[in-house]
Amino acid sequence: MRELALNVLDIAENSLAAGAKHIAIALTADFSAGRMRISIEDDGCGMDEKTLAKVTDPFTTSRTTRSVGMGIPLFKYSAESTGGSFGIRSVKGEGTYIFAEYVIGHIDRMPLGDFGGVVLQLVTMNPQVDFTVTVKCGEEEGVLDTREIKEILGDIPVDAPEVRAFLKDYIRENLVRLYGGRL
């Protein structure tokens, strides 16, 4: 993967495959400390301890179509190769939490990429799932909570063209306001 946003998409797709009904994605940047953190948390089926112990091995996957799973190992590698850190915890029947922390200015840090486009795709392509997306920089933050949006919209689906256009602008405006192209 050439951008971190694609890692987020891959891991969120794992959450969807695990039956998650709510997925929380957070992107936090602390420019004064030179750190960026991406986390994904879900309420899916979770993993048992045996699976969790092997999940960062690229030759471990739950897919039946191939014997290699690169999403989580690449997420881990992308963080650690910048001097950052990685962590994952999961409880069978409760869900999974995964994070990667990066040194922003490190030469090996992949670009964030189209994070807003990934969020928009996840939200509009999976209207049956609730998403909370939080972006933070210092004391400022922007939050997109599809539960609130769905309540306001009533019978209008989140994948309606007008709603999609609004969400696209809302996401972009918050990313620009908080990060100004620095990620």
- CATH at residue 104: 3.30.565.10
According to DSSP, the residues that pair with 39 across neighbouring strands are 26, 99
154: left (phi over 0), alpha (psi -120 to 50) or beta: left
| Number of folded domains that form the chain | 1
Instruction: Output phi, psi for 144, to 5 deg.
Output: -120, 115
- State the pLDDT at residue 1: 64
Single pTM value for the model: 0.92
Residue 179 is predicted with a pLDDT of: 94
Length of the chain: 183
pLDDT score of 67: 36
Q: Which domain holds residue 49?
A: 4-179
Q: Can you list the residues of the chain whose pLDDT is less than 70?
A: 1, 59-69
